[in-house]
Amino acid sequence: MLYSRLNDGGTGFEPERNLMTRTFGLDGGGTLAADAAGNVYVAWHGKIPGAADGEAGRQVWLTVSRDDGKTFAAEQAAWNTTTGACGCCGVAMFADSKGVVRALYRSATENVHRDIWLLSSMDRGGSFDGRKLHTWDINACPMSSMAFSEGAGGVVGAWETGGQVYFEELTKANAAPISAPGEGKGRKHPRVAVGRDGEVLMVWTEGTGWQKGGSLAWEGFDINGKAVGEAGGAAGVPTWSFGAVVAKPGGFVVIY
């Protein structure tokens, strides 16, 4: 898990360094988040010597810097509940404006329970609580990814389950997953942005896979989670790529 930061003089980046001091088997990439208080968080899923075989022995690991990324403590398990971690699936992390740190990852319990879990820390990464957001039983790795965004409506998380994409307002009591409209088939890699009035735009890929490109689609949702307007889309998403969305004062910008 290689990391670098801009040097104090702002003239270039420091030499890369490996943040994995006692774990191995990094897969699915990693994730980085930072807040305005000088905390930098880097997370990934991997294993330690003696862990259970296969994906069941994987878990989410976290290393934290308290000095704007200059130094990092040794990585620690973000959460000690045994769920495994889906090998090629990503992990996403986000530090919101109130200092709450959240992570999304996919489990691999008994190799078939590929559920989406939310980890939340109210003490700036010191400890996490876990909550299952969505269940999916499949004896395969779907090679999926997750995303976060924050806006007037709070913090939103997005993920894939069963070929359909979903988002949920994580800071709203009794919230439930909201799916993209229509039948979900081959929908992957959702990304979300929250507008100034709490509206959400979600973008995702369709038809992408291992060494296979596809197309992009998007849909807007009002503050109550209801789809509004007509869905949009674009062809030509390259292999190993996906879309992104940014909220602007006058609306949204989709990038791919």
* Last residue within a domain, chosen from 142, 171, 200: 142
Instruction: Give how many domains the chain has, as a whole number.
Output: 2
SS3 55: helix
As a whole number of angstroms, the distance between CA 213 and CA 234 comes to: 12
Q: Are residues 134 and 149 in the same domain?
A: no
Do residue 126 and residue 159 come from a single domain? Answer: no
**16 shares its domain with 127:** yes
Give the domain range for residue 154: 145-256
127 shares a domain with 254: no
φ/ψ of 67, rounded to 5, equals: -130, 50
Which among 108, 142, 176 is the end of a domain? 142
> Are residues 72 and 34 part of one domain?
yes
Shared-domain flag, residues 196 and 131: no
Q: Are residues 20 and 115 in the same domain?
A: yes
Backbone angles phi, psi at 52, to 5 degrees: -60, 155
pTM to 2 decimal places: 0.95
Q: Is the domain of 44 the same as that of 73?
A: yes
61-85: b (≥16 Cβ within 10 Å) or e: bbbbbeeebeebeebbebbeeebbb
Please write the tens of the pLDDT for every residue from 87-99.
999 999 999 999 9
Question: Could you tell me if 193 and 150 are in contact, meaning their C-beta atoms sit under 8 angstroms apart?
Answer: no
Residue 116's CATH number:
2.120.10.10
- How many degrees, rounded to 5, is the angle at CA 81 between CA 78 and CA 84? 85
pLDDT per residue as tens, the chain (256 positions): 999 999 999 999 999 999 999 999 999 999 999 999 999 999 999 999 999 999 999 999 999 999 999 999 999 999 999 999 999 999 999 999 999 999 999 999 999 999 999 999 999 999 999 999 999 999 999 999 999 999 987 999 999 999 999 999 999 988 999 999 998 789 999 999 999 899 999 999 999 999 999 999 999 999 999 999 888 999 999 999 999 999 999 899 999 9
70 and 192 part of one domain: no
Is 113 in the same domain as 221? no
Q: What would the pLDDT profile of 202-226 be if each residue is shown by its tens digit?
A: 999 999 999 999 999 999 999 999 9
